[in-house]
Amino acid sequence: MSLNEILANEVANKVINKEPLFILDVRNETDYNDWKVEGETVTSINVPYFDLLDGVDELLPKLPKDQPILVVCAKEGSSKFVAESLVEAGLTNVSYLSGGMKAWSEYLYPTTIYHDENVKVYQFIRVGKGCLSYMIISENEALVIDPSRFLDVYENVANNDGVKISHIVDSHLHADHISGGRDLANRVGAKYYMMKSEGAIYDFHALEEYTHIEFEKVNLEVLAVKTPGHTPGSVSFLVNDKLLFSGDTIFVGGLGRPDLGGKAAEWAGDLYETVFNKVAVIADEVIVLPGHYASLDEMNSEGFVGDILGNIRNRNEMMKTKDKTEFIEKVASNAGSETPPNYEEIVAINRGIIPASDEKKQELEIGPNRCALHHKH
């Protein structure tokens, strides 16, 4: 009989590699229904911790006899208690998630997604949150797009590749997580860029003043006509005419939701202009690399979240709706009322208006991303 501690990166590897995983989630039902560990080969059940304080005997028939069991809770303590109870009851292969769902929320899975004679590109998948960030390496320099607040991950990759992070860009003011852009720039001495129209009150390079950012063998085009829709200052970045880092404007399975500012119809009109006038001129062969994903179903056969623009156009109903009035009606009706948890406070922190401790940032970020406006199947 054994009780094992499993780290978030080990769980992520199992989920991404589609290994069978059975999870007993002992958080309360509301938290479980809102956000859980998910994946194609993940099976999970929810039995709240408080229902198990008097023993696990009634739970045993619900558990598999022939595969490992991973117990999960919010922070670790409850899952460890339940896992110990299961081992005492005679189960032979039980583990608990170290750090709980907080650790799951914060793990970044780095993977190389593109390599040619000029650039190498990493995608950092925040598996428990659905957020994506990127590093573009060329010769001795690197540019980071939409970094999370976990700075060591980006520094470690840059150090391993022997390059200096010289440029950092945020595609928009994030509403579901705290940006690490400014802190990373300060730590490594890089230039930090975002749109002035997003309202940040600290010093940065305003993307309104740039049509291109160039370094080594990279020509990053800040799409000359900006790509609003998700927020007024959302931009996309086209690199070497091959890779479109689309932020929260275009996803593998949908479009960015334009309702977070209370201007759904107005910003949906901007989104229409983006889709049919600005993105329309980009070639089908360009690889789209978004800022978020809704589920790992959007991961392609090569092991990263992204697709060529032609495929996205072909399957996205909203991108086929060329009548502007109909498009705006569809976007507004799909936007929904469920907003990212705590998004107003997160936006205020990202603007530099209010400070926040690491503990507060962790608390604010718990939960799924709700920034995508996905088409209904």
pLDDT confidence of residue 1: 54
pLDDT confidence of residue 229: 58
Question: Is 339 in the same domain as 282?
Answer: yes
pLDDT confidence of residue 228: 60
Quick check: is 73 catalytic?
A: yes
Confidence (pTM): 0.91
- Quote the domain boundaries for residue 90: 3-103
CATH number of the domain that residue 329 is part of: 3.60.15.10
Decide if 363 is inside a domain.
no
* CA 294 distance to own-chain centroid: 8
Question: Is 54 in the same domain as 183?
Answer: no
Domain count, the chain: 2
pLDDT digits (tens, 9 = 90+) for 303-312: 999 999 999 9
CATH number of the domain that residue 42 is part of: 3.40.250.10
Decide if 364 is inside a domain.
no
pLDDT confidence of residue 328: 84
Question: Is 98 in the same domain as 114?
Answer: no
pLDDT confidence of residue 374: 43
Question: Is 118 in the same domain as 87?
Answer: no
Name the domain boundary from 50, 74, 103: 103
Question: Is 39 in the same domain as 173?
Answer: no
Cα torsion 147, 150, 156, 157: sign = negative
Name the domain boundary from 44, 76, 103: 103
Question: Is 225 in the same domain as 329?
Answer: yes
Q: List the catalytic residue out of 16, 69, 71, 73.
A: 73
pLDDT confidence of residue 269: 82
Question: Is 206 in the same domain as 121?
Answer: yes
Question: Is 207 in the same domain as 309?
Answer: yes
What stretches in the chain show pLDDT beneath 70? 1-2, 224-232, 257-264, 334-341, 369-377
Name the domain boundary from 80, 103, 126: 103
pLDDT confidence of residue 266: 75
